[in-house]
Amino acid sequence: MNKIIKKTIGFSLLELVIVIAIVGIMVLIASPMFRESQNKVILEGAQASLIGSLEEARSRALTGVGENVDEIHGIYIDYSTNEIYSCKGTVADWPSNGCLPVMLEENISLIKENAADPDIKIIEFERLSGKTSQETVTLRNDLTGEEIETEIDENGFIEI
């Protein structure tokens, strides 16, 4: 008598349940790390936008680009509305004239160094020298509470 051995192809239900459970555990372990890195990228992206605007304003001031010699290049920061503008022209006209907004994610806040400081901070770069007053701009991710500082020294150089 010949016995026919039937070969089974595929996975049993138990094997599939075990694999799905292992994948589920891996997802649970990895998701907080992914969320944390995503929040950090959002904060670093906001800092990159700020630095890009600062570098552009300083570069324009260094090259003397502008319609007249009285034109100022700089950054206008409004802590009360949580807005940053890249500006040129006359400071008295900022931010309504000669300014472009710097886009920040909705969960990013500007933090004043001291609560007593004014709600408006203006960082002006001197024409042809690029010098400015020493400043620090702090950004905070409201979801995580993490903060990141951008420092501008008196020569207009930016440090992170």
Q: Which domains, ranges and CATH numbers included, belong to the chain?
A: 15-159 (3.55.40.10)
**What does the pLDDT read at residue 66?**
63
Residues 6+ apart with CB under 8 A from 11: 19
Rounded distance between C-alpha atoms, residue 1 and residue 22, angstroms: 44
**What does the pLDDT read at residue 2?**
67
**What does the pLDDT read at residue 67?**
63
Instruction: Quote the pTM value.
Output: 0.76
pLDDT in tens, the chain (160 residues): 567 766 767 788 899 999 999 999 999 998 888 888 888 889 999 999 999 999 999 998 888 766 677 788 999 999 999 999 999 888 888 898 889 999 888 899 999 988 888 999 999 998 888 899 899 999 999 988 999 999 999 988 888 8
